[in-house]
C-alpha cells in the first residue's frame, strides 16, 4: 500500500427509487410510534383509542393495509392542492398475510384535510404520524441517482469502493420516511465530488479496524411485535396485552443493559508510516430493551421442558388457522378442542406427578460453615431469594431476598452469604437502635419504628452510625420544611407543601388550598372555612379501588341479570313475561347511560 498508485477503475451511475410504506396496521403503528415517538406498545394503543373515540382516526385494531376509495380520493386532492399533480401516485395495497382479518381498513385520519388535531401532546404527535403515513402512501416514488466508484491499487489485490446518492425528485420523502429497528444500519451515503474513470488519486490515509461480532440485541417492545407478526402469533388486539402481561407478571422488565469495555486494534497508514494503536469501546450496551428476569427464565425453562410442542412457534400459528376454519364452518370447534386435549392433558398430568430433586430454577451453592446447613438460591413467592436450611429440618430455614442486580444463575456462594449479614445494627441514636437492611424498595435505616431510605452512595453493609444519623436528620429536616403551619388549638391540623402544591391535612383527609390564597397567611378560622366548603381530595389509590369496585359491581349485575333470564325461562309464561320486561327495562337504561364506544378487551 505504501508504494501503490491509485486510479479510478470504474464509475457507475444508475437511477434508483424509494417507494413509500403502506398505511398503518396495528403492529406497524406500534413499531413506528416506538421508533419515532418513544411510545410503549400499551401507550400507543391507549392514545390511539382516544383518537378513535373522538372520531379523529379509523379503527386502530386491524391488520389490513387497504384504504377505501373515499380516503384515496381525499388524499389525492390533498396532495394536488399542497404539492402538485406530479406528487400523486394512487396505490391500492393488499395484505400479504394469509390469516389476516380485513374487516377494517388501514389506520388513517377520518378527514385527510385535517393536518392537526386538538387534545394532549401525545394525541397530536400520534395523529401527525398517522396522517403523514396515510398521505405518503398515495404519493410518487422518490427518484435517486446512486453513484458507485471503484478505485484500484497498482500493487495490491482488490478494490476500494465509494458510494453516494443524490435525490433527483423527493416525492413522498417530502412528507414522511419510515424508521428502522436495525441498529447497525450504515448512515445514508453522502454526495461524492465529480469523478471520471482513469483519474489518478492520491492516498492521504488508510486505516484497518479490528471488529468483533456482537450478540444479537435484545428485543424492544416494537421489535417483539414485529417478530410475533412474522411468526403468526396473535392478532392486532393481542399484541399490547401480551407484552403488558409479561411485564406485569415480572417475567421481563424494561431497562438498560450496561456494556462491557473492550479493546480493539486500529492500524493507520499515513505519510508512509504505519501507526498501531489500541482503542477502547463499550460493547453490548442496550437501552430500553426487554430483559428476562430470573422468574421469567425459570418459568420459560419449566414450560419448554414439559410442554415443548405447545410452546413451539408454529403451534400458535396453526391454532389461529384452525380457528379460521371454525369461523368458516369447515371444522366443528368441539372436535378441535377434543383433539387438542387428548394430547395436552396427559402432559399436564405427567408434569404434576413428576418428582424432581429440587424446585425449578433452584441452585444449591454449598454448606453454611456456621450451621452446616444447605445454602441455595431459588424463586420464591415474591421473587428470587437465598435460603439457608431446608423445609424438612427442625430449625426453620433462613431467607434473604436477592438484590436487583443479582441473578440466581450467576450469584456466587460468597455473595449469598453476604446477604445474611443484614439486618445489621449500626449503633444507637436518641437511645434507640438503628438497623440497616434492604427491603422491597431498596436499602434503608430503621429507627424508632420509622424507615429512612439510604441514598445510592451508601452501602447498607458498610454504612456507619454517623452516616445513618445524617440520613435520619436530613429526612427530618425535609419533613419540617414541608410543613407550612400548625395550630396549637388543633394539633391534627397541618398546612403543608405537597407534590401538586400546598394543601390542608386534617383527620386523614386532604383539602386543596385555593390558588388565590397564600398558605403562610391562613388563620385557624380560614382553614376551618376551607375544610367546611371544600370536598376532600381523593388519592389515586382510592380512585383506582373505587373504579375496581365499580367494575366488580357491574360484572355481578350482569351475572345476576343472566341468571334471572335463565330462571325466567323455566317459570310459567305469565311470570316469565313480567320478569323479562323488568330485565329488558334495566338493560335499556344501562345502554342509555353508556354512549361512548367500548374499548376492545
Catalytic residues: 59
Rounded Cα distance between 167 and 189, Å, is: 11
Rounded Cα distance between 595 and 471, Å, is: 54
End-to-end CA distance of the chain: 66
Q: Which helix (H) or strand (E) holds 121?
A: helix 121-136
Q: How far is CA 155 from CA 3, 4, 7, 152, 194, in A?
A: 7, 5, 12, 9, 25
Rounded Cα distance between 564 and 585, Å, is: 13
* DSSP 8-state code for residue 514: P
Rounded Cα distance between 582 and 599, Å, is: 28
SS3 98: coil
Rounded Cα distance between 513 and 482, Å, is: 15
Q: What is the 3-state secondary structure (H, E, C) of 260-279?
A: EEEEEEEEEEECCEEEEEEE
Closest CA to 238 of 352, 315, 316, 179: 316
Instruction: Answer yes or no: are the C-beta atoms of 78 and 113 closer than 8 Å.
Output: yes
SS3 222: helix
Cell readout for 272 is 508512509
Phi, psi of 258 (to 5 degrees): -75, 135
Number of neighbouring beta carbons within 10 Å of residue 353: 7
Give the DSSP letter string of 359-420.
-TT-EEEEE-TTT--EEEEEEETTEEEEEES-TTSSSPPEEEEPPTT--TTT--HHHHHHHT
Cell readout for 264 is 480493539
**N residues, the chain:** 601
At what angle are helices 239-248 and 41-53 packed, to 10 degrees? 130
Amino acid at each position: 500500500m505504501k508504494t501503490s498508485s491509485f486510479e479510478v477503475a470504474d464509475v457507475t451511475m444508475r437511477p434508483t427509487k424509494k417507494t413509500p410504506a403502506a398505511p398503518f396496521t396495528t403492529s406497524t403503528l406500534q413499531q413506528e410510534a416506538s421508533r419515532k415517538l418513544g411510545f410503549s406498545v400499551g401507550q400507543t394503543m391507549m392514545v390511539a383509542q382516544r383518537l378513535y373515540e373522538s372520531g379523529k382516526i379509523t379503527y386502530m385494531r386491524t391488520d389490513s393495509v387497504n384504504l377505501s376509495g373515499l380516503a384515496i380520493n381525499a388524499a389525492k386532492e390533498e396532495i394536488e392542492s399542497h404539492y402538485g399533480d406530479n406528487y400523486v401516485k394512487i396505490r391500492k395495497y393488499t395484505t400479504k398475510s394469509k390469516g389476516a382479518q380485513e374487516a377494517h381498513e388501514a389506520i388513517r385520519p377520518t378527514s385527510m384535510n385535517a393536518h392537526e388535531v386538538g387534545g394532549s401532546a401525545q394525541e397530536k404527535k400520534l395523529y401527525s404520524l398517522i396522517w403523514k403515513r396515510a398521505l405518503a402512501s398515495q404519493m410518487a416514488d422518490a427518484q435517486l441517482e446512486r453513484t458507485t466508484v471503484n478505485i484500484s491499487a497498482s500493487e495490491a489485490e482488490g478494490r476500494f469502493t465509494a458510494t453516494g446518492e443524490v435525490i433527483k425528485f423527493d416525492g413522498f420523502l417530502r412528507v414522511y420516511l419510515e424508521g428502522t429497528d436495525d441498529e447497525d444500519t450504515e448512515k445514508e451515503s453522502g454526495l461524492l465530488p465529480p469523478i471520471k474513470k482513469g483519474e489518478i488519486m492520491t492516498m492521504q490515509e488508510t486505516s484497518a479496524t479490528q471488529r468483533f461480532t456482537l450478540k444479537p440485541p435484545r428485543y424492544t417492545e416494537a421489535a417483539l411485535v414485529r417478530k410475533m407478526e412474522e411468526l403468526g402469533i396473535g392478532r392486532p388486539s393481542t399484541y399490547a396485552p401480551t407484552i403488558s402481561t409479561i411485564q406485569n407478571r415480572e417475567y421481563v422488565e424494561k431497562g438498560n443493559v450496561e456494556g462491557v469495555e473492550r479493546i480493539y486494534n486500529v492500524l493507520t497508514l499515513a505519510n508512509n508510516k504505519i501507526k498501531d494503536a489500541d482503542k477502547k469501546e463499550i460493547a453490548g450496551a442496550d437501552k430500553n430493551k426487554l430483559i428476562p428476569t430470573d422468574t421469567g427464565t425459570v418459568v420459560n425453562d419449566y414450560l419448554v421442558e414439559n410442554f415443548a410442542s405447545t410452546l413451539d412457534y408454529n403451534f400458535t400459528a396453526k391454532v389461529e388457522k384452525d380457528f379460521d376454519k371454525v369461523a368458516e364452518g369447515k371444522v366443528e370447534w368441539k372436535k378441535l378442542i377434543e383433539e387438542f386435549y387428548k394430547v395436552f392433558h396427559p402432559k399436564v398430568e405427567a408434569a404434576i406427578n413428576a418428582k424432581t430433586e429440587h424446585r425449578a430454577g433452584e441452585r444449591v451453592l454449598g454448606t453454611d460453615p456456621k450451621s452446616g446447613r444447605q445454602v441455595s438460591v431459588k424463586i420464591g413467592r415474591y421473587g428470587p431469594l437465598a435460603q439457608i436450611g431446608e423445609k424438612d429440618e427442625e430449625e426453620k430455614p433462613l431467607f434473604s431476598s436477592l438484590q436487583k442486580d443479582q441473578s440466581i444463575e450467576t450469584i456466587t456462594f460468597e455473595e449469598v452469604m453476604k446477604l445474611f449479614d443484614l439486618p445489621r445494627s449500626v449503633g444507637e441514636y436518641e437511645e434507640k437502635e438503628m438497623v440497616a437492611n434492604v427491603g422491597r424498595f431498596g436499602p434503608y435505616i430503621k429507627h424508632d419504628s420509622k424507615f429512612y431510605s439510604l441514598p445510592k452512595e451508601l452501602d447498607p453493609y458498610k454504612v456507619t452510625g454517623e452516616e445513618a444519623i445524617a440520613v435520619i436528620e436530613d429526612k427530618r429536616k425535609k419533613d419540617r420544611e414541608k410543613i407550612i403551619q400548625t395550630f396549637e388549638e388543633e394539633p391534627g391540623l397541618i398546612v403543608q407543601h405537597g407534590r401538586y402544591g400546598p394543601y390542608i391535612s386534617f383527620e386523614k383527609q386532604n383539602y386543596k388550598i385555593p390558588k388565590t390564597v397564600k398558605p403562610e397567611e391562613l388563620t385557624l378560622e380560614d382553614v376551618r372555612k376551607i375544610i367546611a366548603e371544600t370536598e376532600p381530595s381523593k388519592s389515586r389509590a382510592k380512585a383506582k379501588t373505587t373504579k375496581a369496585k365499580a367494575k366488580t359491581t357491574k360484572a355481578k349485575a350482569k351475572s345476576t341479570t343472566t341468571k334471572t333470564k335463565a330462571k325466567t325461562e323455566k317459570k310459567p309464561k305469565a311470570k316469565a313475561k313480567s320478569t323479562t320486561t323488568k330485565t329488558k327495562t334495566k338493560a335499556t337504561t344501562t345502554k342509555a347511560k353508556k354512549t361512548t364506544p367500548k374499548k376492545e378487551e
